[in-house]
Amino acid sequence: MNLPAPGSWRCWLLAARPKTLFAAIAPVMIGSAMAAADGVVSLPAGVAALFGALLIQIGTNLANDYWDGIKGTDTADRLGPPRTVATGLLPAKTVLVGTFIAFGLASIAGLVLLYFVGWPVLLIGGVSIACGLAYTAGPLPLAYVGLGDLFTFIFFGLVATAGTYFVHTGKFGLPSLLAGAMPGFYSVVLIALNNLRDMDGDRKAGKWTLAARFGGSFARTEIYFCMVLAALTPVFLAFLTNRPSVGVASALTILGLWETTRFARALSKLENTSEINTLFPRVGAISLLMAALLSVAHLC
């Protein structure tokens, strides 16, 4: 791809990785819809939650760019989109400053939510930011020891959805936690695809993701497994909580399983791992579509 001019705004756009932001939008959408279905919704709290989630995602992306760059994990010839620190498009210290600005702005959104719902928001936001940093930073980076997938599922799925429901209603509930499994599984698919593509380079750099540790077949199985479970989440939700109706949930599951089958065929036909890049937008599209339909199902 053609690289942007060093230091330009397009470099910051590249570092922010806008194609990954669906992982922040989907759980906020679902959690807000579930709160609205219960007749308790706060527009200011919902907006603050969305901005906070987006800024935590952006901060995490910038942190990954910085630490993978200075550790030498990302190189100029990586198969994925170029990283700004590894390619010299942005100075490493500048990206680090950008990381803390993003997390700082997310903290401001948290203070707004503190006004609406109280101290638990600080705990949720603080732990989420800490895990965003710990994904590639610190003495035991989560992504380097194979824990990135698990923490992605927890924080970009369960916590983000249940946390959004909480900022509207002031309470936690099993339905919102269970509903968060769907965006969580799709977020893991994104991580697993990324790790499958970068498997060989990660092994050389000592980044032992699940794909690097257990191989490509394991990574593909993980991807299919997570997509199937994401598609089944509406049915589980309907049977355990009666939200939404079983009929609507079954239709959503059929759509999700159909797309999973098409996705599996597309992945199996790839001739080399660099072509995995073409699948990321597809994951984002199906994740947002399923989240939107599940949200509408709660409102009907």
Query: Residue 77's pLDDT is what?
Result: 66
Average pLDDT over residues 115-130: 85
Asked, for residue 4, whether it belongs to a domain, the answer is no
Whether residue 1 is contained in a domain is answered as no
Mean pLDDT value across residues 8-29: 90
pLDDT category at 229 given cuts 50, 70, 90 is: very high
Q: Provide the residue range defining the domain that includes 166.
A: 9-299
Distance CA 123, CA 44 (A): 20
Token pair in block for residue 279: 């699948």
Q: In this structure, what is the dihedral angle of CA atoms 263, 189, 55, 179, given to the nearest 10 degrees?
A: 90
- Give the tens place of pLDDT for each residue, 148-163: 999 999 999 999 999 9
The pLDDT of 103-130, averaged and rounded, is: 87
Inside any domain, residue 292: yes
2 within domain boundaries: no
User: What tokens does 130 get?
Assistant: 């800490």
What is the pLDDT averaged over residues 87-109?
93
Task: Give the pLDDT confidence score for residue 76 in this predicted structure.
Answer: 65
Please tell me the distance from the alpha carbon of residue 126 to that of residue 131, in angstroms, as a whole number.
9
Mean per-residue pLDDT, 164-181: 92
**Residue 73: CATH number of its domain:** 1.10.600
Confirm whether 191 is domain-assigned. Answer: yes
pLDDT in tens, 34-87: 999 998 888 888 899 999 999 999 999 999 999 988 888 877 667 777 889 988
Q: Is residue 68 part of a domain?
A: yes
Six token digits for residue 269: 């036909």
Distance between CA 196 and CA 200 in Å, rounded? 9
DSSP 171-240: S--HHHHHHTHHHHHHHHHHHHHHHHHTHHHHHHHT---HHHHH-HHHHHHHHHHHHHHHHHHHHHHHHH
pLDDT at position 267 is: 92
Instruction: For residue 3, tell me if it sits in a domain.
Output: no
Sign of CA dihedral 261, 236, 194, 157: positive
Q: Which two tokens stand for residue 137?
A: 């930073």
pLDDT of residue 222: 97
Structural domain total, the chain: 1
